Amino acid sequence: MRSPAHPRRAARAPGARRVPRELHPIAWWLWAIGLIAAIDRTTNPLLLALALAVLGFVVASRRGSAPWARAFRYYVMLAGFVIVLRVVFRTVFTTGVAPGDHILFRLPEVPAPRWYAGVEIGGPVSLEGTLSALVDGLRLGTMLCCIGAANALANPKRALRVLPGALYELGAAVAVAVTLAPQLIESVQRVARARRLRGGRRRGLGAVRAIAIPVLADALERSLLLAAAMDSRGYGRGGAATAASRRLTGALMLTGLAGLCVGAYGLLDATAPPPLGAPALLTGAIACGAALGLGGRRVARTRYRPDPWRAPEWAVVLCGAACAALLFVPADAAAVDPTFDPLRFPPLPALPALGLLIAAIPALAAPPPVRARPRAPTADGAAEAPAPTEPVA
Amino acid sequence: MSASRCRWGTATAILAVALLAAGAAAGRAAPLRDCTPRHGTIVAVDFAHWGGPIVRGCGVGARTGYALLHAAGFTTAGDAHDGPGIVCRIGDAAFRHGTQYPTPSQESCVQTPPTTAYWAFWLARPGSNHWSYSPLGAMGDVPRPGEVELWIFGATNVAGTRGSGVPRFSPATLRAHAAARTHRTRTEQTHETRAHRPRGTGTNRPRPHRARAHRAGARAAHTSTTGTERTSSTATTTTTARTRRSGPARHRSPRRIARRPEHRGHRPNHRRTAKSAAPASAAASPTASAPTATTRVLAARPTNRRASTGSATPLIVGAVLVLLLCAGAARAIRRRRHEE
């Protein structure tokens, strides 16, 4: 603080650029979970649109240039598909119209037999119903976009590091799976480029054969390389666990999972006896935790280049938490969940809107992302290093 | 006699005007008296969950249970997920100025309401004194003449045999022919003061005339005007109550209550009417077995829903915020393109 050349000061000075680095992936996930919790509270289309805009702003400002960072647009497309599907279903399987509704059009009605009278197909389609289907779809779509934003912003391979030790094999499998698709795409591009250089002009089925076989060969080669690399690092070994401890771990895990299932059922089914609800869930969670702890003891792990957790991580997490908290504040229920039954403009409640704007702060609070250097050796040589060996601790 | 006829004519004319005014606003409210054991369907809504009464209305020729509710004067709201077909809120002017229950703070009506707190739909077939849980929803059910349909808020188990959503009174208490007369008298007389409040004073005035006309024995005139008396169920049922019973105290009550503050009308009136009705109609007292002292049965009244479109300002503010964020995103994308 004393000297003006203090690194933090320098980083914050206007005009000076902050050092690009990857934010801790868990921070992004917690931020996204906060937003999901907030969105779950509301069906106000204005708040939902605001949430979508916030997501877009943060992703556009802070995504890196890794393959997964391009995922957001696909999630937005998925959200659009969800909305369209919701509206179409609501239009076809009509749910009736209220007396004062504005009728958009009428679909031919399909008469259902009396024993099937619960489902109506066709009939009048009201503006009110379509709007509420639109908002319903928008809510689910916005939640999907939250997950998309977290996927685009957080490095999935680094996120897997927080898996408990007992699940490290699972983590390794997921890491391999996550890296598979980008590698395949990159492999296809490389083979296609090589073909073009050789003057391959064939199109259609012939081209598929010319590309598919080298790609498959490439994939096989890579997986053999990966398997060898993992084997040499000791993956899949039983460890120092005794048979008794392994049996205890298994028993605890099974009990815990059964408890979780029964507890979830008990909580969701109102007619279930009360001990089946929260107590069973809690017991199950404790048993699972114990099993994971016990199982993790047999694996000794060291951590290579641990991700730091600094002020920006705290800021991002707190923004997500504040957003969720401001939507959970008991507000005017009619403003958070407005109805379109008498057709009216949606209100914009102040506190929830403020909460969503707070969720946009990470666009500035998070450090700038690491970008691929322009014209760096992105050509064939650099990309060929077997990537999956890097991620899991 | 000619004087009374003249007065009766005036009353009918004013009522007809009121019919036009109210009919345009509220729709097809059928008077409770239109429902007989063979004709029309009674629909009742139990607001006991909020300490309210059972509100009862009648609909003739409604094609669905949903249409019946609306024909009887109730307002409903569906949930955002399922549309108006799933009844999530019900309101009626007879209970707290038509506020729909559950209120938004109690139930958001976004998803299908849970079985722990929802409007359970019960039917009593014509002539049956037994409630059965409706196998169909409001829009699937077809009301039969002489049937009683009941909406009661609460929880039920899957079989519909236990829970607060299971009615604890028999359908006979709500049927067209029976009903606790003491209760009906009380509540409907109370309503006279309230029912016509929004429609101006014009309809309030002829009431004493009409009452007198009835006392003069104008039963024939009364039945002939049934069709035109669709203005409000309360007006007609009051008349019925009066024609059926001839007590000295009865015709005095409306005018007295009219001076009371409106929402205070129930209790003092109840005590008084109960006292006066007991000796007058001995036949009515046995039927009072069903609704307990806490259960009140009111007649449904058409609710005028205010159709305010709200203000467009929040929409504009929201759109500006969204546009600002989009502009920020576009700037970030352009800078990234520039850098790469």
Task: Answer for the pair B290, B54: CB distance below 8 angstroms, yes or no.
Answer: no
Amino acid at B193: T
Chain A touched by B320 (CB under 8 Å):
no
Whether A256 and A361 share a structural domain: no
Chain B environment of A57 (Cβ under 8 Å):
325-326, 328-329, 332
- DSSP string for residues in A21-49: -PPPHHHHHHHHHHHHHHHHT---HHHHH
Q: Are A57 and A360 in contact (CB under 8 A)?
A: yes
Chain B residues with CB-CB distance to A97 below 8 A = 84
Q: Measured between beta carbons, which residues in chain A are less than 8 angstroms from residue B27?
A: 99
For residue A201, the tally of other CB atoms under 10 A from its CB is: 9
Tell me whether residue A188 is in a domain. no
Rounded distance between C-alpha atoms, residue B150 and residue B156, angstroms:
14
Most B CBs within 10 A among A95, A267, A329, A340, hence the mutation to make, goes to A95
Is B325 in CB contact (< 8 Å) with chain A?
yes
Search chain B and give the residue with CA nearest A87.
Answer: B81
Residues in A 95-134 with any Cβ partner in B closer than 8 A: 95-101, 117-118, 120, 128-129, 132
Residues 193-252 in A contacting B (C-alpha not used; CB under 8 Å): none
Contact of B315 with chain A, judged by CB distance below 8 Å, is answered with: yes
Which of A49, A333, A343 lies closest to B108 in CB terms? A333
> Does A371 lie in the same domain as A259?
no
Triad A212, A213, A218: Cα angle to 5° = 95
Tell the burial category of B297 from Cβ atoms under 10 Å away from its Cβ (0-12, 13-18, 19+). Answer: buried
Q: How far apart are CA B255 and CA B210, in angstroms?
A: 13
For residue B217, what pLDDT is reported? 38
Domain limits, chain B = 1-307, 309-340
Q: Count how many pairs of residues, chain A against chain B, have C-beta atoms within 8 Å.
A: 144
* pLDDT value at residue A65: 85
pLDDT tens digits, B35-49: 877 788 889 999 999
Q: Which of the residues A41, A57, A62, A104 would you substitute to probe the B interface, choosing the one with the greatest number of B C-beta atoms within 10 Å? A: A57
How does pLDDT run across B298-339, given as a tens digit for each residue?
888 887 766 677 788 999 999 999 999 999 999 999 998 888
B33 closest CA partner among B316, B203, B264, B225: B225
Q: Answer whether B308 sits within 8 Å of A348, measured CB to CB.
A: no
Lowest mean pLDDT among A223-227, B28-32, B222-226: B222-226
Nearest-CA distance from B60 to chain A in Å? Answer: 16
pLDDT score for B308: 72
Which residues in chain A are closer than 8 Å to B81, comparing Cβ atoms? 132, 136
CB-CB neighbors (< 8 A) of B137 in chain A: 118
Residues pairing with B153 in the sheet: B119
pLDDT at A239: 65
Mapped onto helix, strand or coil, the DSSP state of residue A381 is: helix
Of the partner residues A118, A129, A135, the one whose CB lies closest to the CB of residue B83 = A129
Judge if A153 and A29 occupy the same domain.
yes
CA distance A53 to chain B (A): 6
Task: Tell me if A130 sits within 8 A of A91, measured CB to CB.
Answer: yes
Give the 3-state DSSP-derived string for B193-206, with helices as H, strands as E and coil as C: HHHCHHHCHHHCCH
Which residues span the domain enclosing A293?
240-298
**Ranges B166-170, B175-179, B241-245, most confident:** B166-170
Residue B176 DSSP one-character state: S
Candidates A52, A59, A132, partner chain B, best to mutate (most B CBs within 10 A): A132
A294 in the same domain as A320: no
Nearest to B77 among A90, A120, A341 (CB): A341
Q: Who has greater pLDDT, B209 or A291?
A: A291
* Contact assignment for A348 to B136 by CB distance below 8 Å: no
Instruction: Identify the pLDDT of residue A316.
Output: 96
Provide the mean pLDDT of chain B. Answer: 65
**Number of domains comprising chain A:** 2
Q: Of A167, A126, A148, A139, nearest to A296 (Cα)? A: A167
**Measured between alpha carbons, how far is residue A381 from residues A190, A385, B249 in Å?**
11, 8, 105
- Are A345 and B311 within 8 A, CB to CB? yes
Tell me: pLDDT of B187 over 80.
Answer: no
Q: Report which of A76, A214, A79, A63 is spatially closest to residue A134, judged by C-alpha positions.
A: A79
Does the CB of B311 have a partner CB in chain A at under 8 Å?
Answer: yes
Chain B positions touching A342 (Cβ under 8 A) are: 305-308
The partner residues of B59 in beta bridges, in order of sequence, read B41
Structure token pair of residue A136: 């319903």
Percent of chain B predicted with pLDDT > 70: 55
pLDDT single digits (tens) B130-164: 899 988 888 888 888 888 999 999 888 777 778 88
For residue B334, the surrounding DSSP H or E stretch is helix B313-339
Q: What is the pLDDT of residue A306?
A: 83
Is the residue at A63 inside a domain?
A: yes
User: Do A278 and A332 lie in a common domain?
Assistant: no
Q: Let me know whether A290 and A361 are in one domain.
A: no
Which residues of chain A register pLDDT less than 70?
1-17, 114, 116-118, 236-239, 270, 372-393
Nearest to B255 by CA among B206, B312, B218: B206
Res A277: pLDDT: 83
pLDDT at A246: 85
CA distances from A218 to A191, A208, A328 (A): 9, 15, 52
The reply to whether A54 and A153 lie within a common domain is yes
User: Same domain for A257 and A326?
Assistant: no
Taking the CA of residue B136 and the nearest CA in chain A, the distance in Å comes to 6
A152 and A281 share one domain: no
Q: Which of B320, B325, B334, B335 to mutate to test the interface with A (most CBs of A within 10 A)?
A: B325
Residue B47 has phi, psi (to 5 degrees) of -95, 20
- Tell me how far apart the 2 most distant CA atoms of chain B are, in Å: 101
Q: Residue B177: which pLDDT band, with cuts at 50, 70 and 90?
A: low
Locate B83 and state its tokens. Answer: 């549309």
Q: What is the per-residue pLDDT across A106-138, written as a single tens digit (0 to 9) for each?
A: 888 887 776 766 677 888 888 988 998 999 999
Residue A74 included in any domain? yes
Query: What pLDDT score does A77 carry?
Result: 94
Please count the CA atoms within 13 angstroms of the CA of A71 that sit on its side-chain side. 20
Same domain for A316 and A250, yes or no, is no
Q: A338: closest CA among A40, A47, A103, A126? A: A47
Of B26 and A348, more confident: A348
Mean pLDDT of B2-23: 42
Query: Does a structural domain hold residue A115?
Result: yes
* Residue A360 located in a structural domain: yes
Q: Is-above-0.90 flag for pTM?
A: no
Distance of CA B207 to the CA centre of its chain: 22
Q: Which residues pair with A103 in a beta bridge?
A: A126
| Binding-face residues of B in 245-264 toward A, CB within 8 A | none
A157 with A288, same domain: the answer is no
pLDDT value for B155: 86
Mind telling me how many Å the CA of B311 is from chain A's nearest CA? 6
Residue type, B184: R
Query: A298, A316, A340: which is the final residue of a domain?
Result: A298
| Residue listed under structure tokens 């869930």 | A281
For B68-122, what is each residue's pLDDT tens digit?
998 888 988 888 888 888 899 999 988 888 888 898 888 888 888 888 889 999 9
Asked, for residue A290, whether it belongs to a domain, the answer is yes
Assess whether A286 and A377 both reside in one domain: no
Percent of chain B having pLDDT more than 90? 14
